[in-house]
Copies of this chain bind each other. A is one copy, B any other.
Amino acid sequence: MTDKKDLFVYNTLTGQKELFTPVHQDRVGMYVCGPTVYGEAHLGHARSAITFDIVYRVLKYLGYNVRYVRNFTDVGHLLNDSDDGDDKVEKKAQAENKEPQEVAQYYEMMYLKATDALNCLRPNIMPIASGHIMEQIDVVKILMDKGLAYESEGSVYFDVDKYNREVKPYGILSHRTLEDTMENSRELSGQKEKKNPFDFALWKKAPKEHIMKWPSPWSLGFPGWHLECTAMGRKYLGAEFDIHGGGMDLVFPHHDCEIAQSIGAYGDMPAKYWLHNNMITIEGKKMGKSYNNFITLSEMFSGQHQLLKQAYNPMTIRFFMLMAHYRSTLDFSNDALIAAEKGLARLTEAKAKLKTLKADAQSSSFDAKKIIADALTAVCDDFNTPVMIAHLFELTKHINAVSDGKETITQQDKQYLEENLAAIFDGILGLKEEKSGDDSKVIEGLMDLIMDMRSTARSNKDYATSDKIRDALKPLGIEIKDGKEGASWRIL
């Protein structure tokens, strides 16, 4: 770690970039809304995971002790994100004739596998909604006691109008008034239970055939979607924590409802800074199942999708995402990804080349410390990874110029750059050098060549070469056998 820099973050709540000052000195709590686990992770999930991975890595780089909590939603998230309709996980389970927990676990594990591949550090706690029913019921009870929730036919709804009149304005995160919300509320079926169409469910009475249901003072049912984050954030991070993150599509209603629940129940604004990553578009269009342009991460990694010209390795995808600021929309295209692939290769190559540079100059021809300082300032300016990367490209030019004998570097600067480039490239940006393709195929290809050269040597009676080959392979654990049907090799 170099000098501790000031960190500025854009807070959706205030609509401003603010200096980050932790609630509790040196300890930072961060809660991020994770996926609803009823389908495979796609590019949108990757963007959110990578965005908050950068936040986590920067905080750690700055020396904070961070507790990062990201939930898995396995219950209560209904189709169309509304208060009515099927539960997403349960519907998938019915379709596959499985227990909902089987479906949830399957997609949890897939999500972790994909985010691991993207080199996202795992959060410290990954709570699941169905494992915190009691905690959620507790919140509902408190809201009922305070008169901010009402029961209707076994379900419980949050009284938005009353909260808005008596406690706090509803919609402070999305900066909308209740009038805005009213205009945009559609009359949906099942809403006759509610006093107002914009009220939202805290607890839903389960239909008879529903599998995921628990006893409560109101009915055998399940919690509303917004409730889990209030309950689990408070449980694992306390009454007020530092950062609450998620995709921009969660600002309203999800996070505004969460804020209303928390303030209504406890009087506390749960988090100080609200950070939201922007969305992914695909060739200019919103990504979605209905648009037929929905690309999962395993499709990206394998190239098996009609929109993909090739497979993209996870580090290419990560780098592609980091080349845009997290609050900008990011348009997916093959051209942009291929450009990212090349850009990343250029950086990786320069990083390797740095180590081999002649560093016997009395002075460097460029200001190495300034480039690193500028890169760090950029990432501390609301996680501006594209600007950080631009500084790295600037550095690349100098490294290449030194290598070509056109510029100079001192031993001290070289060492400084090596250390800091590792900290930035591996530590903050989380880029790791990936082997392209399958190593075992490369080994087979190299062995084909070696066996071919050995066979040529033997037919030329050049036994020195053929022995040399055998001797070189032995310490690698590769054995050559000469048989009737020619020579073969195997890894011991």
A contacts, CB < 8 Å to B:
67, 99, 101-102, 105, 109, 122, 124-128, 130-134, 138, 214-215, 236, 345, 349, 352, 435-437, 439-443, 445-450, 452-453, 465, 468-469, 472-473, 475-478, 490-492
A439 to B134 Cα, complex, angstroms: 49
**Partner among B101, B468, B478 whose Cβ is within 8 Å of the Cβ of A442:** B478
> A442 touching B476 by the CB < 8 A rule?
yes
A446 to B475, alpha carbons, bound, how many Å?
A: 11
Give the shortest distance, in Å, between A304 (CB) and chain B (any CB).
Answer: 20
Q: Is the CB of A124 within 8 A of B138?
A: no
Q: Which of B109, B126, B442 contacts A477 (CB 8 A)?
A: B442
Name the residue of chain B whose CB is nearest to the CB of A454: B453
Contact A490 to B349, CB < 8 A, known contacts A131-B131, A442-B477, A446-B443? yes
Number of identical monomers bound together in the oligomeric complex: 2
Among A102, A214, A352, A440, max chain B CB count under 10 A is at A102
A128 to B128 Cα, complex, angstroms: 10
A440 to B102 alpha-carbon distance, docked (Å): 37
Instruction: Give 6 A-B pairs besides A99-B236, A128-B131, A449-B468 with Cβ atoms closer than 8 angstroms.
Output: A101-B127, A133-B134, A436-B492, A441-B476, A443-B443, A450-B450
User: What chain B residues lie within 8 Å of A436 (beta carbons)?
Assistant: 477, 491-492
- Alpha-carbon separation in the docked complex, A446 to B453 (Å): 13
Bound-state Cα–Cα, A92 to B66, Å: 19
Q: A348 — nearest CB in chain B belongs to which residue?
A: B490
Least distance between A133 CB and chain B CB atoms (Å): 6
B109 touches A122 (CB 8 A): yes
A209 to chain B, nearest CB (A): 17
What are the 4 closest A-B residue pairs judged by CB atoms, nearest first? A131-B131, A439-B439, A445-B476, A446-B446
- C-alpha spacing A138/B215, complex, angstroms: 9
Q: A105: which of B124, B349, B437, B492 is its contact (CB, 8 Å)?
A: B124
